Amino acid sequence: MEAFDTTDDRAFRHEIRAFFRESLPEDVRRTVMTGLPTGREMADRWHKVMLAKGWAAPTWPKEHGGTGWSLKRQYIFEQERVAAWAPGPLIFNIDMVGPLFIRYGTPAQNARFLPRVLSGEDHWCQGFSEPGSGSDLASLKCRAVRKGDRYVINGAKIWQTAVYESDMMFGLFRTDSSGRKQQGISVLVLPLASKGLSLRPILLLDGIERVAQCTFEDVEVPVENLIGEENQGWSIAKYLLTLERLGIAEVGASRACLGRLKTLAGAEIRGNEPLLLEPTLLKEIADVEADLDALEATEYRFLFDPQSNGELGPESSILKIQGTLIRQRLTELTMRVAGPFAQETATDLPSSAPDEARSFAAWATRHYFNFRKISIYGGSNEIQRNIVAKAVLGL
Ligand SMILES: Cc1cc2nc3c(=O)[nH]c(=O)nc-3n(C[C@H](O)[C@H](O)[C@H](O)COP(=O)(O)OP(=O)(O)OC[C@H]3O[C@@H](n4cnc5c(N)ncnc54)[C@H](O)[C@@H]3O)c2cc1C
């Protein structure tokens, strides 16, 4: 959507582009391109670079250490970041728990937690889902009982992403069962090293990423770690979901993937001509590109329509559904184009200079398996379709 850039936007875009070109370490870029997780050391190293530049929290207000950028600038930054294959901000710190504190934290909580959220000294993970409470999140049962100046937690959480690289968890806990299920939920924050908290790893389909099931046995959390009011956690959880505005469609990531896919298919000779010219494949690539163009235009319209005020409502579900389907289709096409190279797993690749085709094939294989998750987490696509049916179409 560069076509809609103003002169100011264009200058800003070039500043961002130049920064990534000059400051993104080559090993970090290659790791992102190859699709391997950056891991804590690399994530911290890159986060420090962004901190020094003042861009570690692109969506935060200035008074809390953010950039104070307009929505348009955040959008441009995200496009350029993805195109440069730079890692995103620490997602749970910057996109979730930071805004949570900024909106609901007391001054004492913000003084204690926020600087470490921004600096990345603590990494955070999200403890919402439970065995039996995913789509129907409000039915959660992990119980926090108040005893004097502490809550005592018993129960389980599941699917915690990045938990093995994290220090802290923000979670939803049941503090009252007497009313409707949406009532009686509270937000607590706690160290993962808390006594009585144990983790059982779950290896994802790609064979690399690990999430976990967390078991709480009499885990004690001081009452000062309650965020917002007791039993008001459901509205806080809903607020966090409204923050998923920018980037939910992941257009930039799909665009970068599509570009690499075309390069790879253009370079691969099957028979006497480039694979890209094989009619069935060419049609499928053209179809996905047309759908991506339409998605980008729709996202732009939702975000920057003067009447929407940058507030995405239930329409964001449309972006999530289409965005995840396109990303999954692209990994499938890349697997086909990569052919035998797709059998290389990312971990089998030598760290020294894998060529573009092999590195992309490894990316595709890992993401083909890993991206099964993207139409499940953050509210599955079936749930998003229910939202579109009810809240957008009024069915
Ligand atoms: C890799 C991964 C990482 C995750 N990371 C986190 C994390 O960091 N923190 C966290 O708290 N959670 C996390 N989650 C949990 C995620 O949010 C849930 O898995 C998701 O909400 C679905 O819940 P569920 O797994 O219990 O499936 P269920 O809710 O049991 O759903 C099973 C199937 O039924 C369908 N379904 C359910 N209800 C309906 C309905 N009303 N109408 C139509 N279809 C329906 C679903 O779409 C799905 O296909 C993660 C999940 C995965 C897979």
Q: Are 77 and 15 in contact (CB under 8 A)?
A: no
Nearby residues of 177 by Cβ (< 8 Å), 6 or more positions away: 184
Q: At the topology level of CATH, where does 124-232 sit?
A: Butyryl-CoA Dehydrogenase, subunit A; domain 2 (2.40.110)
- Tell me if 177 CB under 6 Å of ligand 1: no
Exposure class string for 132-147: b at 16+ Cβ within 10 A, else e: ebbeebbebebbbeee
Residue 334, both tokens: 């890349």
- Tell me if 376 CB under 6 Å of ligand 1: yes
User: Which residue's entry shows tokens 């049609």?
Assistant: 283
Strand 124-127 and strand 168-174: pairing? parallel
CATH superfamily membership of 2-89: Acyl-CoA dehydrogenase/oxidase, N-terminal domain (1.10.540.10)
- Tell me if 173 CB under 6 Å of ligand 1: no
Name the nearest CA neighbour of 56 among 66, 43, 64. 66
Exposure class string for 285-307: b at 16+ Cβ within 10 A, else e: beebbeebeebbebbbebbeeee
pLDDT for the residue 302: 87
pLDDT tens for 24-67 read 999 999 888 877 888 899 999 999 999 999 999 999 999 999 99
Ligand 1 centre distance from Cα of residue 387 (Å): 15
Q: Are 247 and 320 in contact (CB under 8 A)?
A: no
Burial class (CB in 10 A: 0-12, 13-18, 19+), 238: exposed
Nearest CA to ligand 1 atom 38: 135
What does the angle CA 341 – CA 342 – CA 346 come to, to the nearest 5 degrees?
Answer: 95
CA 31/CA 359 separation, integer angstroms: 10
Domain spans in the chain, listed from the N-terminal domain onward: 2-89, 124-232, 247-392
What whole-number percentage of the chain has pLDDT above 70? Answer: 94
Nearest CA to ligand 1 atom 31: 135
Pick the atom of ligand 1 nearest to 163's CA. Answer: 8
Nearest CA to ligand 1 atom 40: 383
pLDDT for the residue 86: 95
Nearby residues of 97 by Cβ (< 8 Å), 6 or more positions away: 113, 117, 124, 168, 170, 189
Region for 136 from its dihedrals, namely left if φ exceeds 0, alpha if ψ lies in -120 to 50, beta otherwise: beta
Please state, in angstroms and as integers, the Cα–Cα distance from residue 15 to each residue in 21, 80, 105, following that order.
10, 10, 34
Ligand 1 centre distance from Cα of residue 140 (Å): 13
Q: Are 213 and 156 in contact (CB under 8 A)?
A: yes
Q: Are 333 and 260 in contact (CB under 8 A)?
A: no
pLDDT for the residue 248: 80
Q: Give the mutation target among 96, 97, 129, 372 for probing the ligand 1 site: most ligand atoms within 8 A of CB.
A: 129
- Tell me if 304 CB under 6 Å of ligand 1: no
Cα 108 to chain center, whole Å?
Answer: 28
pLDDT for the residue 351: 46
Q: Give the mutation target among 139, 324, 376 for probing the ligand 1 site: most ligand atoms within 8 A of CB.
A: 376
Q: Give the mutation target among 91, 159, 209 for probing the ligand 1 site: most ligand atoms within 8 A of CB.
A: 159
Residue 115 identity (one-letter amino acid)? P
Ligand 1 centre distance from Cα of residue 377 (Å): 6
Phi, psi (deg, nearest 5) at residue 232: -105, 15
Ligand 1 centre distance from Cα of residue 86 (Å): 28
pLDDT for the residue 350: 46
The predicted model gives 153-170 an average pLDDT of: 97
Q: How confident is the model at residue 288 (pLDDT cuts 50, 70, 90)?
A: very high
- Tell me if 160 CB under 6 Å of ligand 1: yes
Higher pLDDT residue, 211 or 364? 211
Ligand 1 centre distance from Cα of residue 368 (Å): 19
CATH class of 247-392: mainly alpha
- Tell me if 373 CB under 6 Å of ligand 1: yes
Instruction: Let me know how long the chain is.
Output: 395
Higher pLDDT residue, 10 or 267? 10
Strands (DSSP E) along the chain, which ranges? 124-127, 143-147, 150-158, 168-174, 185-191, 197-203, 210-222, 226-227, 269-270, 273-274
Nearby residues of 299 by Cβ (< 8 Å), 6 or more positions away: 249, 251, 319
CA 100/CA 384 separation, integer angstroms: 23
> Mean pLDDT, the chain, as a whole number?
91
CA 168/CA 156 separation, integer angstroms: 16
Nearest CA to ligand 1 atom 11: 128
Phi, psi (deg, nearest 5) at residue 49: -60, -45
131 has a pLDDT exceeding 70: yes
1 has a pLDDT exceeding 80: no
Cα 313 to chain center, whole Å?
Answer: 19
User: Which residue's entry shows tokens 């970041």?
Assistant: 81
The SS3 assignment for 173 reads: strand
Phi, psi (deg, nearest 5) at residue 361: -60, -40
pLDDT for the residue 339: 78
Ligand 1 centre distance from Cα of residue 337 (Å): 31
107 has a pLDDT exceeding 60: yes
pLDDT tens for 339-390 read 777 766 545 544 443 466 667 777 788 889 999 999 998 889 999 999 999 9
